[in-house]
Amino acid sequence: MSQAALINPNILTWSRERAGLTAEDVAKKLPTKPDRVLEWESGESKPTFRQAQHWATIAHVPFGFLFLKEPPSEKLPLPDLRTLGGAAPAYPSLNLLDTVKDVLRKQDWYLDYLQDQEMNPLPFVGRFTTQASVKQVVADIRQTLGVDPDAARLNYEAYVRMLISAAETVGILVMRSGIALGNTHRKLDVSEFRGFAISNALAPVVFINSADADTARLFTLMHELAHIWIGSTGISDGGSPVGRREEVFCNAVAGEFLAPEEAFRAAWQDGVDWHDNLAPLAARFHVSTLVIGRRARDLGYISSDQYGNYYRQILRAFQDKDGAGGDYYRTVKAKNSIRFSRAVLTEAMSGRMLLRDAGRLLGVQPANLRTYASKLTE
């Protein structure tokens, strides 16, 4: 008979809930019966060592954690700017924690790389504060990025691609993913966060939760870029018109950048159903109808409830799409940022970095790194 593991039953419950799993989820993956899982958590019986080790793998915790007297204290390594019901959320999810830690690990490597290259600080990082004029910040972002959607006759998708490319060109790492650590079973929760920014004079980073509706991500991108311009680091929910000062200011910058107030008011047609304004204004400003709906809410043309219902409708439609069949290397590029990927691959292909270490940083099998390098130019 296998020896029982003398684990702390309270840690079992903590680790399961931390991973967002039910007793049924754990039972199915072990496999065992849900009643047995509840017996272990109540202390009525103990799992075997093999079962406990499997539990640790399922719950994404080190095996030794299961023997602790108390759950370890876990805090987000970035300032939390989110507000849910007027207050910051009590506990971050495991997926959010692991995503932030992974991005910080990549940024640390990139900082070392830039320091070896003797790169100069980026002048736009922290150039303004929240006391600045929103229009002044917008004008500076426009000038720095150099993207004019009217001159280039861009549609929405091309506009997003060009803004991301422009941000990377000036030195910002733009990372996008809807899952934690490349694990398709660990989907990021849009209701928990939309994105985050890490302000750094050498290596600023913007992360966008691509589990959000594709038409909502442009606003998140501009919101997080605004954080870089005011030198603000933090995790954003991006959904509320109220909240912390930095969030309100960055929302205002994003809105003014994408649909300037004066032009928006001139284009908005009163006396018609507000939905009828969405498509014409989306075409006028090269954005999605969702961005127009949000701008209409912020400028008082529609209520928060009207916009909220419209956003949820768009999000449900996006989530109901068949997500299979995506291009693997395109996903890797989005997750890592092209700028970061090029730096890692340059070091790996030159022999200054082990392929194993490069693969670990990028989440790519070492044997696939040369193929990935060739895909970066596509």
pLDDT at 91 over 80: no
Closest CA to 215 of 173, 155, 167: 155
Per-residue pLDDT at 87: 54
* pLDDT-based confidence at residue 93 (cuts at 50, 70, 90): confident
> What pLDDT is recorded for position 149?
86
Top-ranked range on mean pLDDT: pick from 144-153, 185-194, 211-220: 211-220
Largest CA-CA distance found in the chain, in angstroms, rounded: 78
Q: Give me the chain's average pLDDT, please.
A: 91
Q: Evaluate if residue 294 carries a pLDDT over 60.
A: yes
Per-residue confidence (pLDDT) for residue 238, from 0 to 100: 61
User: What domains appear along the chain, each with residue ranges and CATH number?
Assistant: 9-67 (1.10.260.40), 94-108+124-319 (no CATH), 330-375 (no CATH)
Query: pTM for the whole thing?
Result: 0.89
For residue 276, the tally of other CB atoms under 10 A from its CB is 10
CA distance 278 to 292: 6
Give me the pLDDT at residue 322, please.
59
| CA 378 – CA 376 distance, rounded (Å) | 6
Confidence of residue 138 (pLDDT cuts 50, 70, 90): very high
Mean pLDDT of all residues in 249-276: 96
E-strand stretches of the chain: 173-177, 179-180, 183-187, 195-198, 205-209, 234-236
Residue 254 burial (CB < 10 Å; 0-12/13-18/19+)?
Answer: buried
- pLDDT tens-digit profile of 312-324? 999 999 988 855 5
